[in-house]
Copies of this chain bind each other. A is one copy, B any other.
Amino acid sequence: MSDFEKTRSPGYLANHMARLFAHGLAERIRPLGLAPAQFMTLLELWREDGITQRDLVARLDVEQATMANTLKRMERDGLITRRAHEGDARARTIHLTDRARDLQPAAEEAAASVNAQAVQDLSEEERVAFVAAMHKVIAALKG
């Protein structure tokens, strides 16, 4: 009938691939008590502690409501604490707990291992081109 073929559709493949990445990561960081969105958020907090929800929303490109819920779960799970922001009573600064700080090496190693498995059958050039293509696609979809 139509020639729309899911195995040739970048959007379909992107969805499928992202689900497999998420599954692989979830499996490896579950023993650490982490979930994928929490890990993604920790990546930013390991880089800079004491930032606000607004900062995280900007850096991770998710909706504010999504980040609010992720932070609530992270607070519940003892990964972050929040303090009043000096100079802006609306905002709160977000701070890593010792537990969250300690998880960094193991969590990053887990993520690196999923990435390694994912690109294991790509040559170095293919891998570089693949990452560059994803950047271009992300930019095009944001525009």
**Interface residue ranges, A against B (CB under 8 Å):** 1-2, 4, 6-25, 36, 40, 43, 46-47, 61-62, 104-105, 108, 111-112, 114-115, 117-122, 126-127, 129-131, 133-142
Task: State A135–B130 Cα separation when bound (angstroms).
Answer: 11
Closest 5 A-B residue pairs measured CB to CB?
A: A18-B18, A20-B141, A13-B134, A130-B133, A11-B21
Which B residues touch A18, using CB under 8 A? 14-15, 17-19
> Interface on chain A toward B: helix, strand, loop, or mixed SS?
helix
Q: Which of B6, B13, B47, B135 contacts A13 (CB 8 A)?
A: B135
CA distance in complex: A11, B134 (Å): 11
